[in-house]
Amino acid sequence: MAQLRIALAQVNPTVGDLEGNVRLVVESARGAAEEGAHLVVLPEMIVTGYPVEDLALRDSFVSASVRATRALAADLDAEGLGGLPVVVGFLSRREGPGERYGQPSGAPQNAVAVLYRGRVELTSAKHHLPNYGVFDEYRNFVPGDTLPVVRVRGVDVALAVCEDLWQDGGPVTAARAARVGLLVALNGSPYERHKDDVRLELCSRRARETGAALAYVNMVGGQDELVFEGDSLVVDAEGELVARAPQFEENLLVADLELAEAAHTREGAGDGEVVDGLRIVRRTLSSEPVPAYEPRTNTVTPRPDPLSDVGEVYRALVTGLRDYVAKNGFASVVLGISGGIDSALAATIAVDAVGAERVHGILMPSNYSSGHSVADAEDLAERQGFAARTVPIAPVVEAFEQATAGADAALSGLASENLQARVRGTLLMALSNQEGHLVLATGNKSEAATGYSTLYGDSVGGFAPIKDCWKTLVWELSVWRNAEAAREGLTPPIPENSISKPPSAELSPDQLDADSLPDYVLLDSVLDAYVGTDRGEAELVFAGYDPELVRRVIRLVDRAEYKRRQSAPGTKISSRNLSRDRRLPITNRWTV
């Protein structure tokens, strides 16, 4: 057996910021060298950030990524770090034949590079390209056809990229045939509820299949609607957890491993072998094993208690909003606060993400706003210390109604209700323009699914923090956040009345959500089945749901597609959100 100290750099890149991302690599390599690491690995496409989407189709961007990666190798050497092998993900292009029919123009590739002694020693590209959910990699990349194996301190290390680990065959099969001692996977794996358990089980299974230890490095931070949780980890050849990084924070995970020594002693032995459609490409960086040393105790960051599920979701929402604000250059956020649970949770997430001094709440009471709603909104702002001001909308609504009144009657019913919401949206956007705030839309997933929102009204915003949260989850998150504050001896941030009172848009006298929507527990259950798993009417009825309820919910969801197309982006936390994961035609007569 040979010893090897590996460092997994769990960092937060920004798409397109090649200079800043390269700095992250250099800083990580420096930290790894100080820790005495023999190999340092960074996430998938760290040089460019991830996902780059159609930027991959711009030749100038691909060329800049290739140049930056080559320059990075030289920079590491100039910094005295050339003797430490550094593995990075970057955007490259396929060498060889020209364009092929049905493949992206320019043949871009989601690639990995091994940087050593000032040079790019070896490159390879992702073999399995995901084309489901949020991924469109067949649109953006061409697949790789090699398995890179580098010898580091007498240990053969195979390199794979994200989906290569999730799919059977290909790189995993080839790594086993190559008899490597360590399989390293570079990842840009977005957060979803419960994914950390699935990830660990996957890594354990792949390690056993490969017969080698496995190191999994993932990025952290928000990128548009996606959020990455980190959760980098190492398992041994039996699949037992050896080391694990924290979630939702940057971290350099360093682990001491005992690994199988390289099977081939002759230089170049096994190079060029083809296994499961992949050609094994070997490079020797250093063949002599590390002199025996006393290993350190590896770190396994414990997962939180039963709060883990809801607590993870909350941290994902905070991370997503924090990075959207920071990476897009906003100094502050503004949102309407009504005293209801949705705006209360959105405001709380905002305060936790960017600080109370950068959050601005606007109370916009109408003639139908209850006294307790105004009091709850004021209480929310006072508890959390963010600025709040009141802009009554009744005079503005009245002016609109007078301007739009016909010969016979003024606006009434739904038209009047929507007008109130649109006045609020217009006021928020005006303040955004005047003061430079990012407007936060406060709608939840249940509302977005059923169309229970006003286009250009309460759906207005540049980012929607709870867009992917069912209404029932909104309550769970609010209760959890208050409980966490109480556990820490702090004032719960959300007024209890905002959590416990029946939800209402308060756009007409004594209005309640229950007047026009089913009970949210039942509604969310049907929505999760219809939206989350694509079960149709017959399947839902067979599962025990009332046929009339099913037809009603399906009708609401399908008719609201045009609204969702115009909605703000928001942090994805479920396995199927209402935008990138679910793409349906607006003009559509299929209803079963």
pLDDT tens for the chain, residues 1 to 592: 899 999 999 999 999 999 999 999 999 999 999 999 999 999 999 999 999 999 999 999 999 999 999 999 999 999 999 999 999 999 999 876 656 766 777 899 999 999 999 999 999 999 988 888 888 888 889 999 999 999 999 999 999 999 889 988 889 999 999 999 999 999 999 999 888 788 999 999 999 999 999 999 999 999 999 999 999 999 999 999 999 999 999 999 999 999 988 876 555 556 788 888 899 999 999 989 989 999 999 988 877 654 578 999 999 999 999 999 999 999 999 999 998 999 999 999 999 999 999 999 999 988 876 777 889 999 999 999 999 999 998 898 888 888 877 656 677 788 888 888 899 999 999 999 999 999 999 999 999 999 988 888 888 999 999 999 999 999 999 999 999 999 999 999 999 999 988 776 656 666 677 777 788 899 999 999 998 888 888 899 999 999 999 999 999 999 989 898 999 999 999 988 888 888 888 888 877 6
Q: Which of 44, 163, 192, 225 is catalytic?
A: 44
Q: Which of 137, 162, 327, 572 is catalytic?
A: 162
371 and 244 belong to one structural domain: no
Nearest to 185 by CA among 31, 44, 301: 44
The domain of 324 spans 308-510
Instruction: Kindly state whether residue 547 falls inside one of the protein's structural domains.
Output: no
Which CATH number covers residue 464?
3.40.50.620
419 and 279 belong to one structural domain: no
260 and 204 belong to one structural domain: yes
Instruction: Kindly state whether residue 385 falls inside one of the protein's structural domains.
Output: yes
Q: What's the pLDDT score for residue 11?
A: 97
Q: What's the pLDDT score for residue 417?
A: 83
Judge whether 445 counts as a catalytic residue. no
Judge whether 572 counts as a catalytic residue. no
Instruction: Kindly state whether residue 568 falls inside one of the protein's structural domains.
Output: no
Q: What is the DSSP string of 226-261?
A: EEEEB--EEE-TT--EEEEPPBSS-EEEEEEEEEPP
**Cα–Cα distance between 245 and 231 in angstroms, integer?**
5
Q: What's the pLDDT score for residue 34?
A: 96
16 and 162 belong to one structural domain: yes
Q: What's the pLDDT score for residue 216?
A: 97
Q: What's the pLDDT score for residue 32?
A: 97
**Cα–Cα distance between 446 and 467 in angstroms, integer?**
9
Which two three-digit tokens encode residue 533?
Answer: 């798993």
Residue 190 bridge partners (DSSP): 228
Could you list the beta-strand ranges (E) of 194-353: 213-218, 220-223, 226-229, 233-235, 241-244, 251-259, 274-275, 278-284, 333-336
Kind of pairing between the strands at 438-439 and 241-244: unpaired
Q: What's the pLDDT score for residue 585?
A: 85
275 and 312 belong to one structural domain: no
Nearest to 582 by CA among 57, 574, 53, 457: 574
Angle at 160 between CA 268 and CA 200, to 5 degrees: 130
Element (H, E) at 123: strand 119-125
Instruction: Kindly state whether residue 521 falls inside one of the protein's structural domains.
Output: no
Domain end, chosen from 510, 527, 559, is at 510
Instruction: Kindly state whether residue 299 falls inside one of the protein's structural domains.
Output: no
Instruction: Kindly state whether residue 331 falls inside one of the protein's structural domains.
Output: yes
What do you get for the CA distance between the two ends of the chain, in Å? 60
237 and 314 belong to one structural domain: no
Q: Which of 19, 35, 79, 126 is catalytic?
A: 126
Q: What's the pLDDT score for residue 369?
A: 67
Domain count, the chain: 2
Which CATH number covers residue 167?
3.60.110.10
69 and 186 belong to one structural domain: yes
3-class DSSP state of 544? coil
Long-range contacts of 101-106 (CB under 8 A, 24+ apart): 103/142, 104/56, 104/57, 104/139, 104/140, 104/141, 104/142, 105/57, 106/57, 106/59, 106/62
Domain end, chosen from 284, 318, 337, is at 284
Which two three-digit tokens encode residue 276?
Answer: 């499961």
Judge whether 126 counts as a catalytic residue. yes
Instruction: Kindly state whether residue 491 falls inside one of the protein's structural domains.
Output: yes
**Cα–Cα distance between 474 and 342 in angstroms, integer?**
7
Which two three-digit tokens encode residue 323?
Answer: 């990075």
263 and 330 belong to one structural domain: no
274 and 318 belong to one structural domain: no
How deeply is 34 buried, as exposed, middle or buried, from its count of CB atoms within 10 A (0-12, 13-18, 19+)? exposed
Torsion region of 43: left, alpha or beta (phi above 0 gives left; psi -120 to 50 gives alpha): beta
3-class DSSP state of 65? helix
51 and 161 belong to one structural domain: yes
266 and 313 belong to one structural domain: no
- Looking up tokens 């004032």, which residue turns up? 491
Domain end, chosen from 235, 268, 284, is at 284
Instruction: Kindly state whether residue 430 falls inside one of the protein's structural domains.
Output: yes
44 and 147 belong to one structural domain: yes
